[in-house]
Amino acid sequence: MIPVLTPDEMRAVDASASAGVDALIERAGSAVARAALRMLGGGYGRTVNVVVGPGNNGADGRVAGDRLRERGVRVRVYDALDCPAALPDADLVIDAAFGSGFRGSWRMPDIGVTPILAVDVPTGLDGLTGEAESATRGAAATVTFCSPYPGHVLNDGPELVGKLTVADIGLDPGTPSTHLVERTDVAAWLPARDPGAHKWADAVRIVAGSPGMTGAAHLAAAAAMRGGSGMVTVSSPGIEASAPTEVVDRRVPPFDWADAVLADLHRFHALVLGPGLGREEYTVPSLVRTVLESLVPIVVDGDGLFALSWNEQGDPSFLIEREVATVLTPHDGEYGLLTGRRPGHDRIAAAHHLGSMTGATVLLKGPTTVVAEPDGRTWIVTNGSERLATAGTGDVLSGLIGAFLAKGVPAGEAAAAAAWVHAESAALGADGLVAGDLLATIPSVIDACRQP
């Protein structure tokens, strides 16, 4: 996994480094110069404008300018606090004005269409949250050091950072609680199926779907099977579920269905509740009771999250009573129902707030997905895209999480792995992708991530 440090954590790493400040600045500036030369395609005949601030970011930029001069680049250096309104033409602008801790407003001079190489972060981008000042100029590329910041991958960050390079300048990130998820992590988390396994070894129970919403049950069940579950049983209270051929459809009453679900739940290894279940008042007591009394890991998604928000207990804090894993998968609106307010700028803090309320693993959906454990561990999944912003993809994700939980994968890793596989499956599709298209590619994505 790739460690992620907050700006405050990075300052602590800098302060504890065995190398002196001057040595670190020399290494950082040299790394920036190398990135600039790659962007320029060489040095001779090129011109670079370097905008430098008063702190270490500015010092990095000055060193970068010195190294570029040594390679034949014409370098002009401008003080960020005393810049002209416009800079002369150049092949590249290095933004070394202010770093990740900058608070305030600063506007880049007019540089026309000249590409920007940012040092640490584009000036004005919050390294913690990814929120940006309106005047922040997007970079073609950014060089940071030791590890990414959350702000590089959250909110406005991906659009403004451009191609991100993490340069090794001899700093030790230690053991941070936050990591970016890579293919190799998913491969390590997902166990291969035991040669002696039988169909009940990783069985998943699903309660989903309602009149007009039976597709949600179909998608969740199919995803659980494609995720590797050998047995999936689905119920849509009061009606026949829309289930794939390989899935068992078990009828349960339209009301007071908790007894029917709990009766043989001991045979299953995970339970998925809520996709397309409907928001009728009579569904809430059965769902809440099933959640409280089930002794297997559960995933609560969609209308199940609504039920946790609007029940006799008043809020979802009663989940903390559960003795086995609970995974909640809200988007921003569902998060607002659960907590009383939508996530703020700091999405990592928001996910942990809900986790601390409930004792649950929280998967906070978005263009960048955040998975947070109550103990502080956090995984960030960055391979998602706008193709997933279509009806039913959340149902597929819930089924995948259920499959991975049933295999014995711990809740945080199961949710993060499912989010990665889900996003990677979408990446194999084309414009116009629909949720059902993901199902065919899930097995090949899982198989490919295990290849050396």
Mean pLDDT to the nearest integer, 153-171: 96
pLDDT surpassing 80 at residue 430: no
pLDDT surpassing 90 at residue 311: no
pLDDT of the residue at 414 = 98
Torsion over CA: 444, 184, 206, 425 (sign): negative
Mean pLDDT to the nearest integer, 302-320: 86
Q: Any idea which of 109-118, 149-158, 315-324, 347-356 has the lowest mean pLDDT?
A: 315-324
Tokens of 104: 């305030």
pLDDT tens track for 326-344? 999 999 999 999 999 999 9
Q: Which long-range contacts (CB under 8 A, 24 or more apart) does 135-138 make?
A: 135/105, 135/106, 135/107, 135/108, 136/160, 137/95, 137/108, 137/111, 138/162
Res. 418 pLDDT band, cuts 50 70 90: very high
pLDDT tens track for 81-112? 999 999 999 999 999 999 887 877 899 999 99
| Residue 333 burial (CB count, 10 A) | 11
Tokens of 108: 């880049």
Res. 150 pLDDT band, cuts 50 70 90: very high
* Residue 257 contacts residue 237 (beta carbons within 8 Å): yes
Bridge partners of 370, per DSSP, are 364, 380
Bridge partners of 189, per DSSP, are none
| C-alpha to C-alpha distances, 252 to 213, 249, 300, 398, 449, nearest whole angstrom | 16, 10, 19, 21, 38
Query: What DSSP letter does each residue of 194-223 carry, written as one string?
Result: PTT--TTTT-EEEE---TT-HHHHHHHHHH
Res. 195 pLDDT band, cuts 50 70 90: confident
Mean pLDDT to the nearest integer, 398-421: 98
| C-alpha to C-alpha distances, 37 to 31, 45, 143, nearest whole angstrom | 10, 12, 13
Res. 18 pLDDT band, cuts 50 70 90: confident
Mean pLDDT to the nearest integer, 185-205: 92
Rounded Cα gap, residues 214 and 199, in angstroms: 25
| Percentage, residues of the chain above pLDDT 90 | 88
- Domain spans of the chain, in order of start: 2-176, 183-449
Q: Which fold has domain 183-449?
A: UDP-N-acetylmuramoyl-L-alanine:D-glutamate ligase (3.40.1190)
pLDDT of the residue at 99 = 86
| Residue 317 burial (CB count, 10 A) | 14
Rounded Cα gap, residues 354 and 338, in angstroms: 8
Rounded Cα gap, residues 97 and 79, in angstroms: 8
Which contiguous run of DSSP H or E holds residue 301?
none
Q: Which of 21, 11, 25, 15 is CA-nearest to residue 128?
A: 11
Longest dimension (CA), the chain: 78
Which residues, 6 or more positions from 423, have their beta carbon under 8 angstroms from its beta carbon? 369, 381, 383, 384, 385, 388
Flag whether the pTM goes above 0.85: yes
Mean pLDDT estimate for the chain: 95
pLDDT of the residue at 314 = 66
pLDDT of the residue at 135 = 83
Rounded Cα gap, residues 303 and 308, in angstroms: 9
Which residues, 6 or more positions from 337, have their beta carbon under 8 angstroms from its beta carbon? 305, 306, 309, 310, 330
pLDDT surpassing 70 at residue 27: yes
Torsion over CA: 438, 439, 444, 450 (sign): positive
| Domain 2-176 belongs in CATH node 3.30.70.270 | no
Same fold, 2-176 and 183-449: no
Secondary structure letter of residue 97 according to DSSP: S
pLDDT of the residue at 313 = 64
Secondary structure letter of residue 120 according to DSSP: S
